[in-house]
Structure 1
Amino acid sequence: MKQTLADGRPSVVRTWPPAAQSVGRARRLLAGYLAAWGLPQITEDAQLILSELVTNAITHAHPPFGNVIATRFERLADGVRIGVHDAGDSRPEPRRARVDEESGRGPDLVHALTGGAWGLGDRDGPGKSVWAVCTGSQDEVRS
């Protein structure tokens, strides 16, 4: 659902079932809006960030049956603010994953891709909102 924020910036909110196929669908939706907003250069990083946040919500939040995950994309002057809302109480925390572990690196990856511009936000109702800001300037940080 397209919305306009109080300051006039475009915003898109969509709900998803807590299922693996929601990750790809959310990525495609985000890519479409980034193209429409003239931000195709950040699509790869933004999709990876979104994948990590949605996957984390699906894997760790364990929402009760019937609850959904929501994504919010807010257009910024130089990028996008990605929010993922779920009803779970678990909080993403960076940790040192062992070399042989296949998971556990999501928060570190999001931190690297955003230059540290991510965190937890307030949410109406139970659960949490995890947000991350993706702009073209993160490429300079990683260089």
Structure 2
Amino acid sequence: MTTYHAEKRINHDVTDAFAYLADPANLPEYFPRITSARQVGPDRVQTSAVVDTDGDGDTERVSGEAWFHTDEAKHEITWGSPEHRDYHGSLTVTRGGGESTLLSLQIDAADDHPGIQEALDEALESIAQHLATHSAG
């Protein structure tokens, strides 16, 4: 199992940040490869994405259903694939000291996948930019 992890400090309210991140409809705004997401049942989300599934350098359009659980008390979101138990992730929003908020993003996969670490960094940057724009407006 390979674990990928990224963190970013932002200046945004923990509760507001979590509310934005916990809404599955917002996934395409902050995960660059997700093209659509919609809730299809309790803790279930249907997603479409453009990813390089076979590592050949060409992206493919994929879609599937994932479990998507939010824990408001912990400010934590966890997700995974019912079909691929070796893939799951989490996003935690915590107070980072002072006025800051710490975003912690982790993905566990069966093996090494080029580009995942960069995708995590991109996702955190997208979250930070969206929340900065949201709080400014």
Q: TM-score, normalised by structure 1?
A: 0.28
More strand by share: 2
Q: Report the structure, 1 or 2, having the larger helix content.
A: 1
Tell me the TM-score normalised to structure 2 length. Answer: 0.29
